[in-house]
Chains A and B, each alone.
Chain A
Amino acid sequence: MINLEVKNLNIKYRTRNGTVHAVKDASFFVRKKETLGIVGESGCGKSTTGHAVLRLLPPNALTDGEVVYNGSNILKYSNEKMRQLRGKDISIIFQDPMTSLDPIMRIRDHFFELIRAHNPKAKEEEMREMASNALESVGVSAKRLDNYPFEFSGGMRQRVMIALGITLKPSVLIADEPTTSLDVVVQEQIMGVLKDLKQTQDMSIILITHDLGVVAEVADSGVVMYAGEVVEYADVQNLYNNPLHPYTQLLLKSVPNIKIDDMELRYIPGSLPDLKNIPQGCRFKDRCPFVKDICSKKEPPIFKIDEREVRCWLYDK
């Protein structure tokens, strides 16, 4: 059952030096109890996409398209209706746990604020109970409710953020690079927490990351983004074992894998196109080893192959 669906999402930023088309025509969905990984390098638009779902982008961002949740397009919701949705139906955790908590507010007040925002009449004992349960479920002692954020390490803060994210039992959790600024051992612990949640809380997770290893480990399906576009969308097995898009193929070959001895690393020459000034045709053409004539003339559409999607002229029949 589809829980959240993004259809033809377009995001443009108006800046002093012109318009940046940060996300173009992104479409994907996530089912109940499923984890969708959105993977890509910096500047590919993956975080922008995640924030756009909750309408948390800065005012200079123009969002177009649909985000369908519970049968309606939440991009059309009024601000108040959107506010009621945030934290209750869809919640988000961010890349940098060091700055995600208000430094001058006790942990408990973060929980109280969340609960009261959705139930102004909530009683203190009741809220404490909810907060304690949420904290304990991610491995943080409820005794620490009265502490301030600076008394926690990065990993513990991220656990607190996750606890905040799941307190009201939302049906979608967006995790935006939740472990990027953490050490591997802590990353492993946090990923464990996220995996448990998916099973125990009946929740969809949208995991945004640049780490192909993390996606392989926890996701059921994956979206690969490049320069603001979804270039490949498939279930994880197919994505890793039989990648279709040249970018995905090369990306997988450039990640060192500790399980392979004497691995020969590849890299992708060149760099990302300027999003203010996108050249005609395929956005990956300047770095692609399989480039053809048509690639610089026409932008490739999404081609559907079985259950998968790929944006590349190689698959034009």
Chain B
Amino acid sequence: MKLKAYILTRILLSIPMILIILTIVFFVLRVLPGNPILAMLGPKAPPEVVHAMEHQMGLDKPIIIQYLVYLSHIAVGNFGTSTYTSLPVLQELLQKFPATFELTLYSMVVAVLIGIFLGTYAAYNFGKTTDVFARVYSIFVYSFPVFWFGIMLQLVFGVWLHWLPVSGRSAPFMIPEHIYTGIYTIDALLNGNFEVFIDAVKHLILPAVTLGIVISSIFVRMVRSNVLLSLSSQYVTAARARGTTEKKVLFKHALKNAMPPILTIMGLQFALLLAGAILTETTFSWPGIGNYLITRISYRDFPAIQGAIVFFAFFVAVISILVDIINAWIDPRIRY
């Protein structure tokens, strides 16, 4: 009951947040140098044509009107039309998004598993070998450039060992027959086509492991320091004093209490990845949003860029709501 009320207020509260993001995106893109029409038509376009185009796109209206028009468009899901492909931006984004989502999801699974287990275990064995290993690991991995690490993995597992494919989402003709979610591993399973599933997983392993390992460094540190903190709390000693087993002390008390700040960081990282696994996507020729953005920036496709930013803003909002709800579910003090 209290949890439901909390969720409701949390969702209501995110409306002004999204509005603020939309507003900032709108005005920042307006003051940025570079005229989108000139970018579209080329610097030598005759002034009449430019004016006509400006009129057609509504750019000659007062900025407040432009702003309101922009908001009303977004409200109905109109993200504008790409100046590069002349397709609706939303449609393009929705097409590219599943690939990015899939990569992000599996990278997060890798990172979270490494982060939670290595971090917790290191905290529990504070000062011992495992702890030293975890600390060295996180510093070492943190300093890996993603593209370099990706290329190294491609070289070892793709080029030398021939175990895994080095680029793309799938082998030719290995695309799921019916697309439901756009996430190949899930669609393949829904189709019951195991061969396609294996192929999708094979393609996922290298990019997901690359990204997952690099991100795991932050998680290991976060988990380690937060678990250390809760391990030194009185309630942990008190739980031990009740005869609670060490496993329960560690996972039920120490780790669970340490989770809220960890989840917040993980959620933010997840949102960040959705927007910016650009280096990984280009290294592995992954046809996701990162690749899409790179192309469109080079073509000055402003509606596409603006659309992508708004799209991410929504995701950041959604993920932060989810994180807050999970935290409220873990910690009753938040929801009351």
Q: When A and B assemble into the complex, do they touch directly, with CB atoms less than 8 Å apart?
A: yes
A residues adjacent to B (C-beta < 8 A):
51, 54, 56, 59, 79, 83-88, 91-92, 94, 96, 99-105, 110, 113-114, 117-118, 148, 150, 161, 164
Q: Cβ of A150: which chain B residues have Cβ within 8 Å of it? A: 332-333, 336
Name 20 interchain pairs, CB-CB below 8 A, sorted by A.
A54-B241, A56-B237, A56-B241, A59-B127, A87-B242, A91-B242, A94-B234, A94-B238, A100-B234, A100-B238, A102-B239, A103-B333, A104-B257, A104-B330, A104-B333, A114-B243, A114-B244, A118-B243, A148-B332, A150-B333
Any A CB within 8 A of the CB of B245: yes
Chain B residues near A85: list those with CB within 8 A. 243
A87→B243 contact, CB < 8 A: yes
Are B242 and A103 interface neighbours, CB within 8 A? no
List, in ascending order, chain A residues with CB within 8 A of B61's CB: none
* A84 vs B239: C-alpha distance when bound (angstroms): 13
Q: Is B331 an interface residue (CB 8 A)?
A: yes
A88 to B243, CA, bound (A): 8
Q: Mark B239-277, 1 if CB is under 8 A from A, else 0.
A: 111111110100011001100000000000000000000
Q: Which residues of A contact B248 (CB under 8 A)?
A: 113, 117
On whether the beta carbons of A87 and B253 are closer than 8 Å, the reply is no
Residue numbers in A under 8 Å from B242 (CB-CB): 86-87, 91, 110, 113-114, 117, 164
Closest 9 CB pairs of A and B: A87-B242, A87-B243, A99-B234, A117-B243, A86-B243, A114-B242, A102-B235, A148-B332, A100-B238
Residues in chain B near residue A117, CB distance under 8 A? 242-245, 248
Query: How far apart are the CA atoms of A91 and B237 in the complex, in Å?
Result: 12
Select which of B233, B240, B241, B331 is within 8 A of A99 by beta carbon.
B233
Q: Report how many residues on chain B are interfacial, defined by Cβ distance under 8 Å.
A: 25
Contact partner, B244, options A100, A103, A113, Cβ 8 Å: A113
- Mark B residues whose CB is within 8 Å of A: 126-127, 233-235, 237-246, 248, 252-253, 256-257, 330-333, 336
Are A103 and B243 also in contact (CB < 8 A) when A94-B237, A161-B238 are? Answer: no
**Which residues from B are CB-within-8-Å of A83?**
243-245
Q: How far is the CA of A8 from the CA of B274 in the complex (A)?
A: 62
B240 neighbours in A (Cβ, 8 Å): 56, 86
Q: Which residue of A lies closest to B254 (CB)?
A: A102
New contact pairs (4) apart from A54-B241, A84-B243, A92-B238, CB-CB < 8 Å: A104-B330, A113-B239, A117-B245, A150-B333
Q: How far is the CB of A232 from chain B (nearest CB, A)?
A: 28
List chain B residues, Cβ under 8 A from A110.
242
Distance between A65 CB and nearest chain B CB, rounded to angstroms? 20
Expressed in whole angstroms, the Cα–Cα distance for A118 and B257 within the complex equals 24
Write the chain A residue with the least CB distance to B230.
A102
Most buried by A among B126, B235, B242, B245: B242
A104 engages B237 (CB within 8 Å): no
Q: Which residue of B lies closest to A55 (CB)?
A: B240
Tell me which residues across on chain A come within 8 A of B234, comparing CB atoms: 94, 96, 99-100
Chain A residues, CB < 8 A from B333: 103-104, 148, 150
Kindly provide the distance from the CB of A140 to the nearest chain B CB, expressed in whole angstroms: 17
> A104, B256: Cβ atoms under 8 Å?
yes
**Measured CA separation A105–B256 after assembly (Å):** 10
A135 to chain B: closest CB distance in Å? 15
Instruction: Check A101 against B332 for contact (C-beta < 8 Å).
Output: no
A7–B143 alpha-carbon span in the complex (Å):
53
The CA of A103 and the CA of B327, in the complex, are separated in Å by: 13
CA of A101 to CA of B234 in the docked complex: distance in angstroms? 8
Q: Smallest CB–CB gap between A312 and chain B, Å?
A: 35
- With A114-B243, A117-B243, A118-B243 as known contacts, state yes or no: A101 contacts B238, CB within 8 Å: yes
Q: CB-CB < 8 A to A104: which residues of B?
A: 256-257, 330-333
Contact A103:B241 (CB < 8 A) given known A148-B332, A150-B333: no
> Is the pair B245, A91 in contact by a Cβ cutoff of 8 Å?
no
Q: Are A86 and B245 interface neighbours, CB within 8 A? A: no
Closest chain-A Cβ to B121's Cβ sits at a distance in Å of: 15
* Distance between Cα atoms of A161 and B242 in the complex (Å): 11
Are the C-beta atoms of B241 and A91 separated by less than 8 Å?
yes
Taking a contact as CB atoms under 8 Å apart, the answer to whether B245 and A103 are in contact is no
Contacts of B245 in A (CB 8 A): 83, 117
Looking at the assembled complex, report how far the CB atom of A122 sits from the nearest CB atom of chain B, in whole angstroms: 13
Tell me the bound Cα distance from A96 to B234 in angstroms. 8
| Chain A residue contacts of B246, Cβ below 8 A | 79
Complex Cα spacing A120 to B223, Å? 30
Task: Give the distance to chain B from A164, nearest Cβ to Cβ, in Å.
Answer: 7
